[in-house]
Structure 1
Amino acid sequence: MFCSVSMKGNISSIPSNQTAKMTSLNVFTISLHGMFSTIGIIENLLILGVVGFHVRRSVISIWILNLAASDMLATCSLPFFTLYMARGNTWTLGNTFCRINSSIFFLNMFVSGFLLAAISLDRCLVVLKPVWAQNYRNTQLVGRVCGVIWAMAVVFTIPFYIFRDTIVLPDGKILCYYNYAQLLPSEPYDLGSLCKHRKEALAFMKLFLAFLIPLLVIILSYAAVNARLARRGCRRPFRFVRLVIAVVVTFILCWAPYHLFIVIEVIAPTGSSAQKLAGRALPIAATIGFLNSVLNPILYVFSCPDLCHKIRHSLGAVMESVLAEDLAELRRRSTARSSISTSEMVLKPKNSITNMTLNTEVQEHD
């Protein structure tokens, strides 16, 4: 059983003739998703490998590592979303994995917003409270902050995990979507009103906690930094600040459409053209949200020449290591063969001398 209020807008937003249209479009869309997924996984693995093992541990590297870890989770969940589209927008991987896969999407949304807000506050404190930053800002503190961020993101993701479900439609398709008619209260209630309140609560929770509040913190932090630097007559900012600004702008462009259409779907009257438009646009907006996890590693590389150099150096070191191991193996085998050949050459003369001596002794005895 699912709440008709929560699903009516979404089901009505998919016209009966849309399936035919989607089959021609899906070839390109699915290929694009597959490409995004492959590129994103490779990129984030490179960032995690290089920053994790080849960059000196610092406050900046810890921020980047946590962002890359969140993006890695999102890009790893993208192939299953691609499979969902490839099978005609029907979910075939079971209820539990539907909840897990969807929760990873929301977890990445919360972690990205919280981390970007924390990074902005960090830069603000460095400029406004340099003495405090010098004394207390270290990798241990930042590591603990990142741990708290991940814990908060997990807590806020729990409701999305609980209310996610697989729903069989009349046409046989299986949706991996919200089912608000779960964990019903024991006292009397109106199911339609309850589902509507739950839907609104989750939508505005995402909007405020994962987007608007982090965005406000980011804007205020950089406004304070710019004001202080302007008063000091200092040049604007470091290379890392350029990276943060690029990541933040990408975050806004990628996530704003998703939250906009979620709000439209919630507040628009049931069955209205606005709600139907939001229902059609949400899958595309979710794809753009996934794109944020693919673009972030590119921004790290192009905004940080040192990181780009590290990646090239690391890849070169890996190739050199592989080639060195192959050469060492070839040399070892060649040395072993040479030693065997030498031993045979040494043994042959010895055997010949022994045979000649034995023959001589036999002849003398005869």
Structure 2
Amino acid sequence: MENTSWPPDFTLGHGNATLSYESAHFAVLQRGMHLLSIGIYGMACFLGVIGNGLVLWIAGFRMKRRTVSAVWLLNLAAADFVFTFFLPLSIAYTALGFHWPFGRLLCKLNSAAAFLNMFASVFLLTVISVDRCVSVVWPVWCRNHRTPRAACGVVVVAWVAAFALSSPYFVFRDIALTSHNITSCYNNFALSDNYDTAEARRLYQMRHRAMVVTRFLLGFVLPFAAISICYSFVVSRLKRRRLAKSSKPFRIIIAVTASFFLCYFPYHVFSLLEMTKASASPRLKMALYLGIPLASSLAFFNSCINPILYVFVGQKRFRQSVLAAFEGAFGEDFLFSLSSKRKSRSISQAEIQMT
């Protein structure tokens, strides 16, 4: 997703020249990991375009009535679809041995789009989990206040926050020609061509640390905590009141939470390791060089699995059409597959308790 190594060094993956390890074992391992990354990139691009394109088409043109669920999934698909539009650039970048021939503007746009997608997707996934929690815990309040118009307002806040957090990557992203005649697309946090001075290095380290920590906290720790807490409340309430008609809601909750963790956690771990002093050791440099592209590709892969998770996970039969499956996902009954009878009963009980 990014290269945060020192511009004079160019020692870490994602656009920096090769490490000084010339052993045949390292070369084979390096090539294998990069081919695996390219494969994941390609699969994410193919599935992301198809899946998110279907969501945009159905939610934008086929839905007669806009629901709150449709607002969430439409914006989630829009974030993922914009990202997949730029993904071929990352595929080419990795395939060319981290040589960037596309110029400075596309270097900036590609990185900014990747992080815009990451923050927007994470925030929207968090909003969806909060919405589902509130819908189960306070059904009466939701019946009166949970409207598509209110959902649009929440979505605007999520997008503004995502733009604000991703804009620094457009500012700091830059290109440079290395001694190996490779053009690198890297993070120029000091906005300088000369990193020989102590001031430039201090500024680079400070901004690098601030960006990584902010991304880790706001892009992973807090959202993952919110998602885990919300879905814990949901599972607890559904089991206690036996509101779930089937096990589908629980399979969806497990799949969404697990995919969020597995897709994003490795990338944040490598990012935190890269800014530590221990990253100067040759072995860790090699691990980062091999691991960062793979971890980034896993984070990219999250952009293509959201339609699968929210539409098809938990389906026992696939004989229904794709269109019907997507339209079912946009309906409010999709929230937890609750029968109308049991849902009405829970609302009545809540109203009695409130009187």
TM-score range, shorter chain: 0.7 to 0.9
Equivalent AA in structure 2 for residue 99 of structure 1: K
2:73 to 64, 69, 77: 64
Residues 305-331 of structure 1, C-alpha deviations (whole Å, 9 max, x = no match) = 59984535699xxxxxxxxxxxxxxxx
Is 1:290 the equivalent of 2:323? no
- Which structure has the higher relative contact order (CA within 8 Å, separation 6+)? 2
Is 1:44 the equivalent of 2:59? no
Partner of 2:271: 262
1:139 to 148, 166, 182: 148
Once the two structures are TM-superposed, the CA of residue 23 in structure 1 deviates from its matched residue by 5.7
Equivalent AA in structure 1 for residue 120 of structure 2: V
Aligned residues: 311
Equivalent AA in structure 2 for residue 262 of structure 1: S
Unaligned runs of 5+ in 1: 316-366
Equivalent AA in structure 1 for residue 103 of structure 2: G
Distance 1:73 1:215 in 2: 23
Equivalent AA in structure 2 for residue 282 of structure 1: I
Distance 2:206 2:190 in 1: 11
Does the 8 A contact of 2:129 with 2:227 survive in 1?
yes
1:127 to 116, 125, 136: 136
Once the two structures are TM-superposed, the CA of residue 14 in structure 1 deviates from its matched residue by 2.8
Change (3 A) 1:274 1:101: same
Once the two structures are TM-superposed, the CA of residue 150 in structure 1 deviates from its matched residue by 0.7
Give the structure with higher Rg (CA). 1
Residues 248-281 of structure 1, C-alpha deviations (whole Å, 9 max, x = no match) = 3212111111011111111242421224312321
SS, match of residue 191 in structure 2: coil
Does the 8 A contact of 2:116 with 2:163 survive in 1?
yes
Distance 2:214 2:245 in 1: 35
1:88 to 88, 94, 97: 97
Does the 8 A contact of 2:68 with 2:151 survive in 1?
yes
Is 1:15 the equivalent of 2:20? yes
Once the two structures are TM-superposed, the CA of residue 67 in structure 1 deviates from its matched residue by 1.3
Equivalent AA in structure 2 for residue 113 of structure 1: V
Q: Pick which of 44-53 and 131-140 moved more.
A: 44-53
1:163 to 164, 172, 176: 172
Change (3 A) 1:309 1:145: farther
Change (3 A) 1:143 1:310: farther
TM-score of the pair, normalised by structure 2: 0.77
Does the 8 A contact of 2:7 with 2:188 survive in 1?
no
Distance 2:307 2:240 in 1: 34
Equivalent AA in structure 2 for residue 277 of structure 1: A
Q: Identity across aligned pairs (percent)?
A: 33
Is 1:311 the equivalent of 2:322? yes
Taking only aligned residues, the RMSD between alpha carbons, in angstroms, comes to 3.2
TM-score of the pair, normalised by structure 1: 0.75
Q: Per residue, is there more helix in 1 or in 2?
A: 1
Q: Pick which of 14-23 and 56-65 moved more.
A: 14-23
Distance 2:246 2:203 in 1: 50
